[in-house]
Amino acid sequence: MSDVTAPIADLASIPIRPTHVYIVENLQTGLAFPDAPGSVILMRMGYAVDALALPWVAGAVCNYWGDIDTHGFAILNRARAYLSGLRSILMDEQTLLSHRAFWVKEDAQHSALELPNLNEPEYALYRALKEQRWGLNVRFEQERIAWSIVSTARIE
Continuous segment of H or E residues that includes residue 24: strand 20-24
**Domain assignment of residue 3, yes or no:** no
**Domain assignment of residue 121, yes or no:** yes
Which residue has better confidence, 40 or 7?
A: 40
Which structural domain range is residue 61 located in?
8-153
Cβ neighbours of residue 141 closer than 8 Å, sequence gap 6 or more: 26, 67, 69, 102, 104
CATH number at residue 115: 3.40.1360
Query: The pTM is what?
Result: 0.91
Task: Provide the pLDDT for residue 154.
Answer: 60
**Domain assignment of residue 1, yes or no:** no
Mean pLDDT of 45-68: 86
Quote the mean pLDDT of the chain: 90
- Tally the domains of the chain: 1
The pLDDT tens digits of the residues spanning 82-134 come to 888 999 999 999 999 999 999 999 999 999 999 999 999 999 999 999 999 99
